[in-house]
Structure 1
Amino acid sequence: MRDWLNDLDTQLFIWLNGRYTPSLDPIMVWITERNSWLLFYVLLIGWLVYQYRRRALSLLITIAASVGIADQLSSSVLKPLTHRLRPCHVPALQKLIHPVLECGGQYGFVSSHAATTFGLATSLYLLLGRQHPWIRGVFLWAMAVSYSRIYVAAHYPLDVLAGAGVGVLSAVLCAMIYRKATKAACLERR
């Protein structure tokens, strides 16, 4: 079963990575680079502070915890535990893939980019999605960043899907803790 899944994942990666266009390369590099999104993060923080004033700090801590947990689970736990090579480090794939960037770290399961972006998107949705339906659009950003990791040959599709799952789970956990803490604080004030 494991070999079958790995083969399917490899074939899907080769197919997706093979759908490149040289004119799209710089766009995908920009999407995949973490620093490209600094302005987005600053604007998001500014909006949260402006919109929620006193509550902004607890929201920002919750979101940061979600992203931090997702990042640490993917980078410090799962990658060293699984030792799954990134596709760009697999010699048998070298002639079949379109790498756009330097390969990066040796191991790729799970994608930290997918984990952190889905952690952020899910946190925002769980905490504020009812009041601000536009927040669902942040998932499009998370999907674009995640897909860019396949495009630049850094991750297999399963790395990205598992990373997204790690991000969603970390956000659910942090949102649950936030709600319980908020509820307890409200009860204390009464």
Structure 2
Amino acid sequence: MLESLLKWDRDTFVYLNTLGVEEYDRFWIVITTINSWIPLFITFFFFIFYKTKNNIAIRQTACLLGLVLFIITLTNLTKNAVARLRPNNEGEIGALIRILKSPTDYSFFSGHAASSFAITLLWYLFVRKKIKWAVVFFVWPMLFSLSRIFVGVHYPLDIIAGSLIGCGSALLFYLLYNQFLAKSLKYSTKG
């Protein structure tokens, strides 16, 4: 079962990666670079502070930053524990694919997918009642995650697992926010 799943993962990766064309390489390199998304992060914080009272916005921002630290830590611990080589570092597959980036750390799970889905989902849960079209921002984690296949550094299962872990982490932090930070705001405003 596991072997057939890993075979599907490799075959699907090679198929998707080789769909890439040279004319779009620069696009995927820009998409996969975190610095390219700084304007989006500023937009996220703008909407939190624009649509929310300052004391709530500060707590939501702290919750988002805590989530980022959690995801980074969880990603690094998992990558080192699982120790799955990236496709760009596997000789057999490396000869078949297009490689646009060459990180040397491990592959499972995708930190790009986990962090982008986590940040977007938690931000969405904070602003969804105030910004009805906020769901549009999920284009970011989808493109960001997909870019990892086209630049040759993640298998589909890395991305699927990262996306699920990111969404689960966002839901956990949203629950913790409502349980502790939001409740403490209610109590502090009553006093």
TM-score tier after normalising by the smaller chain length:
over 0.9
Partner SS state of residue 41, structure 1: helix
CA distance in 2, matches of 1:131, 1:49: 12
Structure 1 residue 50 displacement after superposition? 2.4
Q: Name 2:130's counterpart in structure 1.
A: 131
Correspondence for 1:22: 22
Q: Aligned partners of 1:165, 1:115: CA distance in 2, in Å? A: 7
Q: What pairs up with 1:139-178 in 2 under 5 angstroms?
A: 139-178=138-177
**Paired residue type of 1:78:** T
Spell out, residue by residue over 1:6-46, the C-alpha distance to the aligned partner (whole angstroms, 9 max, x if none): 11100000011011111110000000001111122123223
Percent identity, aligned pairs only?
A: 29
Please give the alpha-carbon distance, in whole angstroms, between the structure 2 residues aligned to 1:125 and 1:50: 14
Which blocks of at least 5 consecutive residues in structure 1 are unaligned? none
What are the within-5 Å matches in structure 2 for residues 96-107 of structure 1? 96-101=96-101, 103-107=102-106
Question: 1:115 aligned to 2:114?
Answer: yes
The match for 2:73 is 72
How far has the Cα of 1:100 moved from its partner? 1.1
Distance 2:129 2:104 in 1: 38
Give distance in 2, aligned partners of 1:56 and 1:124. 11
What is the identity, as a one-letter code, of the residue corresponding to 1:137?
V
Task: Count residues with an aligned counterpart.
Answer: 188
User: Given that residues 68 and 116 in structure 1 are in contact (C-alpha distance below 8 angstroms), is that contact kept between their aligned partners in structure 2?
Assistant: no
**If the length of structure 2 is used for normalisation, what is the TM-score?**
0.93
Letter in 2 for 1:62: C
Q: Write the letter of the residue equivalent to 1:85.
A: L
- Partner amino acid, structure 1, of 2:8: L
1:184 shift after superposition: 4.3
Aligned counterparts of 1:63 and 1:10: Cα–Cα separation in 2? 34
User: 1:114-145: CA deviations, max 9, x gaps?
Assistant: 01100111101222223322221121110000
Equivalent residue number for residue 5 of structure 2: 5
Q: Contact conserved, 2:100 with 2:151, CA < 8 A, in 1?
A: yes
Per-residue Cα deviation, 1:158-182 (whole angstroms, up to 9, x for no partner): 0001111111111111100111121
Residue type of the alignment partner of 1:13: F
Alpha-carbon distance between aligned partners in 1 of 2:45 and 2:141, rounded to the nearest angstrom: 17
Secondary structure of the equivalent of 1:133? coil
Runs of 4 or more, structure 1, over 3 Å off, are none
Contact 2:31 2:143 in 1 (8 A): yes
